[in-house]
Structure formats: structure tokens, C-alpha cells
Amino acid sequence: MAANYFSEIEPVRYAGPETNDPLAYRYYDAKRVVLGKTMEEHLRISVAYWHTFCSAGADMFGGGTWDRPWHKGSDPVAMAEHKLEEAMSFIKKLGVPFYAFHDRDLAPDLGNMRDSQKAFAHMVDKAALAQEQSGIKLLWGTANLFSNPRYMAGGATNPDPEVFACAALQVRDALEATKKLNGSAYVLWGGREGYETLLNTDLKREMAQLGRFLQMVVEHKYKIGFDGLILIEPKPMEPSKHQYDFDVATVYGFLKQYGLEKEVQVNIECNHATLAGHSFEHEIAMSTALGCFGSVDANRGDSQNGWDTDQFPNDVNEVAMSLYHVLKAGGFTKGGFNFDAKVRRQSVDALDLMYAHVGGVDTLAHGLLIAARMIEDDKLGQFKAARYAGWDQGMGKQILDKGLDLAAVADLAASKNIEPTPRSGRQEMLETIVSRYA
């Protein structure tokens, strides 16, 4: 079935900062060079297959409101083929280079593992052809280990080893499909890798299972010669009461425990950061400080809602500060900005999908320009360097170089009668500097 759902929508063009056309870019000029790389290279923007092409607009209180033609039919595989055609048409018109998928997004769950995996293999072949024809690339793939009832108590952390085996089968096939499609990364999100009550949960056992599962994934990566990133996506809860990948710091500690800190990085989502009680900027900064930054799921939450609303990003200041840390750390290698975001349930038209993505893309591009100016001026960097200068020389350097032990440092404090004078952190000045960039 030929793609025609977006046929009346023209390809999105760059029209400049003065345009009022909501279907044109004000800031995203893909080939514009910023800090030595094009915008396209810096941002590596991806469309999320699951929200944009698989969701029907349902929520916990009502059925789907989006009338998508690829959701209709009696043959699930034919419907999946139609969906792929429409997806590639949309992404091509949007003018971004990547997409991302779960295995069960690309191909249907047919009710048994063998038939489902056969359908997945068929659709991977179709996706390879579609990528070749369109020039669109795969940012990352993943396996859905949360929707099927078998995963109600988790995949890797399940008390039943047969469920663990099913999870291993899906991840093996999805990882191999990601390699076949030249994906840049593979993501593991543990939506049900956690618990709903401690009354029936053996924490030590479940975390050991999860650690071994991750080791197996890394081992298979090398076995098949996949040269992309392996990523974990932190989230504190939902649908589980508590997830073992709570936030960046928790994930890093977990990776250290199982010897994986040099093998696995993080895919950070804005809305997951806020659910953990952090800011998006905090999680980005923490991951770059720990050396485990990999990729980003771009979205936002709603401060009046206590759940993962997955709205499109529109806060330029938030994006700019996060990109400041990304750029300071050297930028993306094989990760990128994936729009893990969905239109609202009342946004029922094909145009709404385009409006949402255009706005999100422009927010990222505008944030990039602001972050680049901040780095070129480097006022924040200069202030921090001066604030911590004492650690680069004298006693501070000796402490860090292990030239002094605790008793020696204490003796210095006593012999010199050290009475430090408090120095201002200049928070308000720095906040004013940052606000003026925007």
C-alpha cells in the first residue's frame, strides 16, 4: 500500500528567524556550521517509531482518538509494511536523519514467540530496503520487554527463568537487527525491571539477574561485531513502583558493580529526570561527569501531572543548558536526540504530528545556538576555573595527588591556623548571564 497519509504536507524547509510559518524552521538549518560541525551532525535528530506511528491516542480512561490508516486491516504484517512506508515518508518530509524503534513497533506481536520473531525478521528486511531508498538511518533499536503479559514481573528480573529466556531471545534478535540496519546504538529500558511490592521481591536476586543479563548483552555485542553503543535509559518508576535504573548515578553504580562501566552508557530522558526529582540538566551533567553520557530522549513533562507525559520539548533555556554540558563533553559520538514524545490525545490530524516535530526540532536548534554562544564566550567556564583554582596548586593539588594524608592535611590546618574567608558563589550573577543569552 503506497504512503499517502502525509501527501498533502510539503517538505519542511528552513525559512529563517523571521518566519511565522509553523511548518517551517526558524532555527534548524541542517547544513549550518556551529562550532565546527553542522547542526545535523550536532543534534542527530531521530523520530520515535512507537509514539509517532504506533500509538493510537489511547489513555487509561479512554480508547484511541487517532485515525491512522495503517492501524486498519486484517493482516498485521501488511499493516506493519504500510506503517513503515508512511513513517519513512513523514521522516523524509521532516528532514531529519534518524528514527528509532522497539522490535514490536516495527513488527506485530502475533501471539507466540516464533511467529512474532519471523514477522520481525521480515520487517527488518523491509526496513533495510526502506532505509536504502530514503537515506534515513537507524539511530537505535531496542526490544519491548514490558507490553506482553509474560513480562508483568519483569524480563531480566523475572522470578521465572523461562521469561528471562524469552527476554534474551527478543534482545538477541533486536540487537542483531540493529546491527543489520547499521544502527548507532542499542537501548535497554527496564520499565518492569523493578518491583511493585517488597512482599514478594528478592532484591538481591533480581539485581544479580539484571547484572548478568547486561553482561550477556555486552558479550553478544562483541560476538556479533556490533560497534554501536549499548545504552541504559534511567527512570525511577512507572509502570513499576521502583525501577533498578532509578537515575544516572544509580545506573553508574550498578554498572561499576558488574564491571560494565566502560561498556554501557546512558540514554537520558528529560521527563524521566524530573520524575526522579532531578532536572534534565542535572542528569546530563552527571552523566558527562561520570563519563557515561551516550544519548538523549528529547521530551518534557508537565509540572501539574505526576507521570510521564512525553510532551514535545519547548523550553529553549532547558535545552540550551543541557546542550551546554553535552558540547562541553565533546558532543554526541553515536547517540543523538530522539523525540520520545507524542502529540496530545486531542491532536488528531496528520498536520499535528508535523507541527509537533517542527516545534521540537526548532527548540533543539535554537538551544544549540545559545549553547554555542555560551561556550564561545566561556563565562561559566572561566568562573568555575577561578572558583576551583586552589585545587590546581599548593595544598589542594597535593591532596588530590595523594601527596598528603589525612593527618598531614589536618596538621597544616592547625600549624597555619587556617581561617578561610567565605567567597560568594555568585549564583544570581550567573543566572543573569545565562538568561541574557536566550
Active site members:
102, 105
Asked if 1 and 337 count as a contact pair (C-beta separation under 8 A), the reply is: no
CA distance 191 to 209: 15
Report how far residue 320's alpha carbon sits from residue 330's, in angstroms, rounded to the nearest whole number.
15
CA distance 206 to 154: 9
Rounded Cα–Cα distance for residues 42 and 36 (Å): 9
User: What single-letter DSSP state applies at residue 135?
Assistant: -
Q: Bridge-partner residues for 266, per DSSP? A: 232, 293
Do the Cβ atoms of 231 and 335 come closer than 8 Å?
A: yes
Q: Which residue in 173, 156, 142 sits closest to 211, CA to CA? A: 156
Distance between CA atoms of residues 28 and 31, nearest Å:
9
**Helix 350-377 × helix 379-387 angle, to 10°:** 50
Cβ atoms of 217 and 260 closer than 8 Å: no
Reference 264, options 290, 222, 231; nearest CA is 231
Please state, in angstroms and rounded to a whole number, the distance separating the CA atoms of residues 195 and 192: 7
Instruction: Determine the length of the chain.
Output: 438
CB atoms within 10 A of CB 304: 6
